[in-house]
């Protein structure tokens, strides 16, 4: 438990540090005065001033911020954030999101170079060497032969036998070829469940869908180092695309039903999944960090007040109309209201996650 807590705080800290560093370094490059660079939310635990910037570590490790001159208050200083061109403010605002995407890409690049299971792509589309492969049951057709045999979702299919002739499966294609050849016959399926192997008898393979299962292949693929960056870039793009689709569905259902989907979790869920990832191994944990980083990027780019995307909306409108569409004080109030709503949503999700833990 202590290890999980330490790694959870470390993961959250890294994600926030990378995100805020994007805003910080871009503001510095452009020449905006950065008054504070903070990890976590107050109360303050530690701070040190170097140059014109206060570097702080705060007690609540679920966020962070870069405080720039003229960001929340009026300033006539030419180095103030509000006095920069819309283009420069746009670059500063989007830099945190880009840093999180870059972090995910770097992690996946290293992962594929060492050997990693792709998150969304089929292992067969990855130009590398399969180090290992597992065929996992994802679901069943109603009253399918496999379901009747006692197999359950999550079981790993290792092989099968007919008339004492055994065959091991190293790919989905091998399993499909085997079942095609033995339609109408009874077969023994060798499987693994919770680190224990067993055998189930499928009485008769059907003609249309012999086993009647939905299966996925989990394969560890190693990619040559010079191809790993490209493969990781494609995987990152696909994950970003799917994440946008998920959040689009989430927001639509949230406003139409007022309910938070089961697939959405808060800090408690992240803590739980961190523990599971630790048990699964270092590579799975790194993969989990990459997914969290992309999720953080996508959430922040959403056009909602208080998020980076919400600030970008006002900057783009200013660029289009060549003047501020909303007064600075009004914009700040909108962001504060948005921030309050986000906190309420996080509290609601956290309450549900805690309740689910106690009801399991």
Q: Do 102 and 20 sit in the same domain of this protein? A: yes
Q: How far, in whole angstroms, is CA 304 from its chain's centroid?
A: 19
* Position 260 pLDDT exceeds 70: no
* Position 161 pLDDT exceeds 70: yes
Q: What is the total count of domains within the chain?
A: 2
Q: Do 184 and 318 sit in the same domain of this protein? A: no
Task: Note the pLDDT of residue 89.
Answer: 93
Q: Which domain holds residue 155?
A: 129-221
Euclidean distance between CA atoms 223 and 231, whole angstroms: 8
Terminal Cα distance for the chain, rounded: 18
**Residue with the larger pLDDT of the pair 111 and 183:** 111
* Position 143 pLDDT exceeds 80: no
Q: Do 200 and 341 sit in the same domain of this protein? A: no
**Looking at 20, 71, 82, 235, which residue is catalytic?**
20
The share of the chain scoring above pLDDT 90, in percent, equals: 29
Q: Of the ranges 77-81, 185-189, 213-217, which is most confident?
A: 77-81
Among 221, 244, 276, where does a domain finish?
A: 221
**Residue with the larger pLDDT of the pair 235 and 328:** 235
Total Cβ atoms within 10 A of residue 100: 25
**Residue with the larger pLDDT of the pair 152 and 36:** 36
Q: Is 20 a catalytic residue?
A: yes
* Position 360 pLDDT exceeds 60: no
> What is the pTM assigned to this prediction?
0.81
pLDDT digits (tens, 9 = 90+) for 1-15: 788 888 888 888 899
Average pLDDT value for residue range 192-216 = 81
Among 221, 245, 269, where does a domain finish?
A: 221
Mean pLDDT estimate for the chain: 85
Between β-strands 129-140 and 213-222, what pairing exists: parallel, antiparallel or unpaired? antiparallel
Task: Note the pLDDT of residue 49.
Answer: 92
Q: Do 82 and 157 sit in the same domain of this protein? A: no
Task: Note the pLDDT of residue 281.
Answer: 79
Q: Assess if residue 286 is contained within a domain.
A: yes
Q: Assess if residue 124 is contained within a domain.
A: no
Euclidean distance between CA atoms 127 and 105, whole angstroms: 17
Euclidean distance between CA atoms 270 and 84, whole angstroms: 37
Task: Note the pLDDT of residue 151.
Answer: 85
* Position 53 pLDDT exceeds 70: yes
Average pLDDT value for residue range 123-146 = 84
Q: How confident is the model at residue 264 (pLDDT cuts 50, 70, 90)?
A: low
Q: Do 41 and 141 sit in the same domain of this protein? A: no
pLDDT digits (tens, 9 = 90+) for 213-244: 788 878 889 999 999 999 999 999 999 998 88
Q: Assess if residue 326 is contained within a domain.
A: yes
Q: Assess if residue 123 is contained within a domain.
A: no
Q: Assess if residue 19 is contained within a domain.
A: yes
Whether the CB-CB separation of 9 and 61 falls below 8 Å is answered with yes
Q: Do 66 and 210 sit in the same domain of this protein? A: no
Q: Read off the CATH number of the domain in which 149 is found.
A: 2.30.42.10
Q: How confident is the model at residue 97 (pLDDT cuts 50, 70, 90)?
A: very high
Average pLDDT value for residue range 333-359 = 71
Task: Note the pLDDT of residue 358.
Answer: 62
Q: Do 86 and 40 sit in the same domain of this protein? A: yes
Q: Which helix (H) or strand (E) holds 218?
A: strand 213-222
Q: Do 145 and 264 sit in the same domain of this protein? A: no
């Amino acid at each position: 438990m202590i290890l999980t807590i330490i790694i959870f705080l470390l993961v959250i800290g890294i994600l926030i540090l990378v995100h805020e560093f994007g805003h910080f370094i871009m503001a510095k490059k452009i020449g905006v005065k950065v008054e504070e660079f903070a990890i976590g939310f107050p109360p303050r635990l530690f701070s040190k001033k170097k140059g014109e910037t206060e570097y702080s570590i705060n007690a609540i490790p679920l966020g962070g911020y870069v405080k720039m001159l003229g960001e929340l208050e009026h300033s006539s200083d030419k180095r103030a954030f509000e006095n920069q061109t819309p283009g420069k403010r746009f670059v500063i605002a989007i830099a945190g999101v880009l840093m999180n995407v870059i972090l995910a890409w770097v992690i996946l690049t290293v992962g594929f170079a060492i050997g990693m299971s792709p998150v969304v792509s089929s292992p067969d589309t990855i130009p590398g060497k399969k180090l290992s492969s597992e065929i996992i049951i994802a679901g069943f057709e109603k009253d399918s032969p496999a379901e009747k045999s006692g197999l359950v979702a999550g079981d790993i299919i290792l092989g099968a036998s007919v008339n004492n002739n055994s065959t091991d499966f190293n790919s989905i294609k091998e399993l499909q070829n085997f079942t095609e050849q033995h339609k109408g016959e009874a077969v023994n399926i060798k499987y693994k469940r919770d680190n224990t192997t067993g055998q189930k008898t499928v009485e008769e393979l059907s003609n249309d869908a012999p086993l009647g299962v939905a299966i996925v292949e989990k394969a560890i693929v190693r990619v040559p180092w010079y191809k790993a960056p490209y493969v990781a870039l494609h995987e990152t793009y696909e994950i970003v695309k799917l994440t946008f689709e998920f959040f689009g569905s989430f927001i639509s259902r949230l406003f139409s039903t007022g309910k938070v989907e089961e697939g959405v979790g808060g800090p408690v869920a992240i803590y739980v999944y961190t523990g599971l990832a630790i048990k699964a191994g270092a590579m799975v944990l790194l993969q989990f960090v990459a997914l969290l980083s992309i999720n953080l990027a996508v959430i922040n780019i959403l056009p909602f007040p208080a998020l980076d995307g919400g600030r970008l909306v006002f900057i783009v409108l200013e660029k289009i109309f060549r003047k501020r569409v909303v007064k600075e004080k009004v914009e700040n109030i909108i962001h504060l209201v948005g921030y309050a709503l986000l906190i309420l949503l996080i509290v609601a999700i956290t309450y549900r996650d805690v309740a689910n833990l106690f009801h399991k």
